[in-house]
Amino acid sequence: MTNLTHLTIAEALDALKKKDFTAKELTEAHVKATSEFRHLNAYVTETPEIAVEQAEASDKRRAKGEAGLLEGIPLAIKDLYCTKGVRTTASSKILENFIPTYDSTVSGNLMRDGAIMLGKTSLDEFAMGSSNTTSAYGNVINPWKRSTGDNADLVPGGSSGGSAAIVAARAAMGSTGTDTGGSIRQPASFCGIAGIKPTYGRCSRWGIIAFASSLDQAGPFARTVEDCAIMLQSMSGYDPKDSTSANQPVPDFRAALSGSIKGLRVGIPKEYNVDGLPAEIAKLWEQGKDWLRSEGAEIIDVSLPHSKYALPVYYILAPAECSSNLARYDGVRYGLRVEGKDLTETYEKTRAQGFGNEVKRRIMIGTYVLSAGYYDAYYTKAQKIRRLIAEDFAKAYEKCDVLLSPTAPSAAFAIGENEDDPVKMYLNDVFTIPASLAGLPGMSVPAGMSSDGLPLGLQIIGKPWDEATVLRVGHVIEKAAAITALPAMLMKKAA
Amino acid sequence: MDKATVKKVATLARLHVTEEEQEKYAAQLGGIFKWIEQMSEVNTDNVKPLSSVIDLPTPLRKDEVTDGGIQDDILANAPEAVEGFFVVPKVVE
C-alpha cells in the first residue's frame, strides 16, 4: 500500500472514493504517525479514540453514498477552537480543565463535511506569539533542522505552531489555524507548507477563543494549495452567531485554481523591501516575480506608504482588544480559580497564576492604552493609522489585482533566539500584519529553501473576498517552485 | 514607564504583580512604548478611526429567544457551583 501519510487531501479523497483504502485505515496510519512525532510536542491533547470512532462512522456514510466534502480526512484542530466534550486550553494554564459544551462553527463545519479530528494542537498562549514558545504546555518543535548540522531545535513559528508542525511532519493531512497578525502565514512559511488567512468575515469566529476580535480569522493549513482550497470551502460561510460573519457568496475555491493568470496585475509593495532584508529572501522574491511573469502576469510597482507603522499600530490594537477579551477569565464561570482573601484578590491571583508572561505583558499594554488619559494618544491614534493603512491597500488595488511579498523576514529560528527582546520578536510579522489590519486575504506558499536548508514562503495578498485569485496565484508559485525537499527526520523514517 | 504606573495598570487589569515583576514590566513596556512612539510621525488630522474592516451593515435579527434551557452546560466548567448558581467569595460583610 502507498504511504498513506504522504498523500495530499485531494489524492486521499480520490482514493477513498475508489475504495483503495478506508477512512479507518487512513486515520490509523495518521494516529500511528502522531505517536511517532510526539517529540515535536505539537498537540496539547491527542484524540485517537475519537478519530477512529469518527473514521468508522465516515466509512459507513461513504458506503451509504453520503460522503461529504472532506469525508474521511484526518485533520488536526488548533486548541483555540472549542470542541464539544474535548478539553480546549488555548495553550493556557487558565483553561487547563476547560471542556466546552459546544463546537466552534468552523470546526463543526469540518466535522459536518466528514473530517476526522486527530487532536488539539498547541499554540502560543491565547495565540499571542510568533514562535510557539509561550504555550503553557511546552515549546513546539519544527520538524525541519538546519542542514549545517547544528541540530538545534527550531521554532515552528506561531501562533499556530502545532498545527503547522504536525502537517509538515505528515502526521495530519491538514489543520486549522487562526491568524491575527500572521499566525497562519508565518508558521506555514517556517514549516514549508501552505496556509491561507481568508478575508476578515469569511469564516465564523463563533466558538474560537478570542484574542483580538477585529483581527482574528480562521483558516486552513495543508501541504498543497489545492488542499487549502478544499478545506477553506468547508470552513467558510455565513454564521448568524457571529455578527462580523459576512453574508457573502462562497465561490468554488478548488475550481478557481484551474484559471490562468495571464494579464493578472501583480503589485510589488516597495516599502516591503525593508532594511536588512536577507539577500536570499530578496532573491526568492525576485524569483517569484519571474515565475508569475513567465505565466503571463504583469509585475507592477506599488506603494503602501504607511507600512512601517503597521507594527506599532498592531501592538496597540491587538493588546487593547486582548485586555478586554481576556477580562472574562476571572475564576468565576470557568477556568482556573486561585482563592484569595476577598473577590479582588481572587481575581488578581487567579489571573497572575493562570496567565503566562507574554499574555500578561499584552494585557498590561492593552490596559494602559485604554486607560484614561492615554486612550486618544494611543488607541484612537492607532485606529486612525489603521484606516490609512487600509486605504493604502485600496489605492494599490486600483493598479493591481494581488500583491506579492516574502511571508517572513527569515527562515525558522532556533528556540530561545529573539526571546530577550519583545520588539525583535514582533518584527517577524512585518510582512503579514499590514494585511491583517486591512482585513485582507493572505496566503503563504512554500517557494524556496534557505542556504541552511530551511523552507521559505512567499505571501500573496488579495482584494477583499478574492481568495480565489490568491489561491490561483499561490498554485502557480507552488507549481513553479516544485519543492520536493522533506524534513530530514521524515527521510530517515522513510529509509 | 515607572513602577508606580505599572502598579496602577496591574490593578486596573486585576493582575497580581510582584515588586520584581514591576521592575521588569517597567523596563519592557518602556521599550515597547518607545518603539510605538513613531506613530506620532503620522499626520492623522481629519482621519476617522477605523474600528471594523468590513464595510457591511450590522445585521439585525428579531428580538426573540433562540437558545436556552442549558443551565447545566453553563455551569459545567464553573470552579464552584451550587444549586444552579456560580459561587464566589463573600463580598458583603
- Return the domain boundaries, chain B: 1-39
Which phi-psi region, left, alpha or beta, contains residue A449 (left: φ > 0; alpha: ψ -120 to 50)? beta
CA nearest neighbour of A476 among A301, A296, A300, A302 = A296
Query: Which residues fall within 8 angstroms of residue A322, CB to CB, at 6 or more apart?
Result: A126, A128, A211, A212, A359, A362, A363, A366
Question: Residue A151 pLDDT > 60, yes or no?
Answer: yes
Report which residue type is found at A254: R
Residues of chain B with Cβ-Cβ distance to A99 below 8 Å are: 76-77
| The pLDDT value given to residue B67 | 87
- DSSP 8-state class, residue A437: H
**Residue labelled with grid coordinates 512567499:** A458
Q: Strand order in A298-302's β-sheet?
A: A43-46, A116-121, A74-78, A174-179, A217-222, A194-197, A442-449, A455-462, A402-406, A265-269, A298-302
pLDDT for A153 equals 97
Q: What is the mean pLDDT of residues A390-407?
A: 98
Catalytic residues of A: 78, 159, 183
Per-chain mean pLDDT for chain A: 96
Q: How do the domains of chain A map onto residue ranges?
A: 4-261+411-494
From B32, B38, B53, residue closest to A390, measured CB to CB: B53
CB pairs under 8 A between A and B: 153
pLDDT at B17: 95
Cell of A99: 471542556
* pLDDT exceeds 60 at position A367: yes
What is the structure's pLDDT at A421?
A: 74
What is the pLDDT, as a whole number, of residue A494?
57
For residue A146, give the C-alpha cell: 538546519
Q: How confident is the model at residue A444 (pLDDT cuts 50, 70, 90)?
A: very high
- Residue A43 and residue A37: Cα distance in Å, rounded? 10
Q: Which amino acid is at A388?
A: L
pLDDT at residue A495 is higher than 60: no
The whole-angstrom separation of Cα A405 and Cα A307 is 13
Which residue matches cell numbers 487600509?
A390
Quick one: how many helices (H) and strands (E) in chain A? 18, 11
Task: Look at residue B89 in the predicted model and tell me its pLDDT.
Answer: 84
Among candidates B16, B44, B76 on the partner chain, residue whose Cβ is nearest the Cβ of A352: B16
| CATH superfamily of the A4-261+411-494 domain | Amidase signature (AS) domain (3.90.1300.10)
The verdict on B49 touching A (C-beta cutoff 8 Å) is yes
pLDDT of residue A363: 98
For domain B1-39, the CATH architecture is: Orthogonal Bundle (1.10)
Q: Is B27 on the interface with A (CB under 8 A)?
A: no
How far apart CA A200 and CA A471 sit, in angstroms, is 16
Give CA–CA dist A486/A144, Å, rounded.
Answer: 8
Smallest CA–CA separation between B36 and chain A, in Å? 5
B32 vs A contacts (CB less than 8 Å): 315, 365, 422-423
* Percent of chain A clearing pLDDT 90 (strictly above): 94
Provide, rounded to the nearest whole percent, the portion of chain A with pLDDT above 70: 99
* CB atoms A385 and B44 under 8 Å: yes
pLDDT at site B54: 80
User: For residue A310, what is the enclosing H or E element?
Assistant: helix A310-325
Tell me what the pLDDT averaged over chain B comes to. 92
Segment A14-34 shows an average pLDDT of: 98
Mean per-residue pLDDT for A440-462?
98
Phi then psi for residue B19, to 5 deg, are -50, -45
- Summarised one tens digit per residue, pLDDT across range A181-213 is 999 999 999 999 999 999 999 999 999 999 999
Query: What was the pLDDT predicted at A147?
Result: 94
Confidence band for B56, pLDDT divided at 50, 70 and 90: confident
Q: Hey, are the CB atoms on A214 and B51 less than 8 Å from each other?
A: yes
d(CA A154, CA A141): 6
pLDDT score of A417 = 85
Residues linked to residue A179 through DSSP beta bridges, in sequence order? A217
B50 interaction partners in chain A (CB closer than 8 Å): 383-384, 386-387, 390
pLDDT tens track for A2-13: 699 999 999 999
**What SS3 class is residue A170?**
coil
pLDDT at A361 over 90: yes
